[in-house]
Amino acid sequence: MTTTAQTFVPANVLANLSTLDRSKADSCNFGIVQVDDSGKILLYNNYQSELGGVPVSDAEGKIFFTQIAPCTNNAMFFGTFKKGVAGGALDVTFNYTFTFKMKPTNVQVHMYRDGVSGTNWVFVNRA
């Protein structure tokens, strides 16, 4: 795992997360998932919806790590998230293989907690 030095997320996006609304998120060409401290999805952008084949309306309100992407419910992924939220600092990037539309797909993941707004983000990019 590494930190933001290797992230695919543009600096201006990371710097303005407190004002990132749905339309701005949908304009990005990578997956954006905003979750609360329990992992409940607050925002699921179009890119992520199309990548995963999960409609936005089906995803939002569900727990990302157990209901939408249960393959992330392990110490490496969900455990890192919980540890980061508990400690108030989350900023890790790593490679992962999701299954999108029944096909394994290599992606880069950046999990980030915005210190200004206290919001949590999972960014996903096709590797």
Partner 1 sequence: MLKGAEPPFMEPGSKRHDNALWRDRLYGGLRARALPLVMVDDHTIPAASIWTGARLWIEAFRSAGLERGDRVVLALDPSPAWVQVLVAAIWEGLTLIPLPSQALRKPDDIASTFDPALVVGCGKADWILGHDSDFAPRPDARKRETTLPTDPEIRLVMRTSGSSGQPRFVAISDENLLSVLDSHEAHLGLTDRDVCLSILPWHHAFGLVIDLLPALFAGATIVRSERALRDPNLQLDLAIANNVTYCSMVPLHVERLAQIGRGQEWLKELSGGVVGGAPISSHQASILKNTRLRVGYGQTEASPGIALGEPGEWHEGAIGSPIGCEIKLDERGHLLCRGSNACAGFWHADRGIDRLPTSRWLDTGDLATRDSQGKLRFIGRADDSFKLSNGRLVESALIERKLANALPEGLRAVLLPAEGKIDVVVLSKSKPENGSAESALRLSLGPLADYVGQVHYLRESAAPKTAKGDIDRLALGANLRTTLRAAA
Mask for 59-78, x = binds partner 1 (CB under 8 A): -----------xxxxxxxxx
Q: How many chain residues interact with partner 1 (CB under 8 A)?
A: 21
Least CB distance from residue 10 to partner 1, whole Å?
22
Cβ nearer to partner 1, comparing 73 with 117: 73
Within 98-127, the residues that bind partner 1 by CB under 8 A are: 98-99, 102-106, 127
Helix (H, G, I), strand (E, B) or coil at 67: helix
CA–CA separation, 79 vs 60, rounded Å? Answer: 21
Contacts of 45 (CB under 8 A, 6+ apart): 22, 25, 26, 28, 31, 32, 33, 56
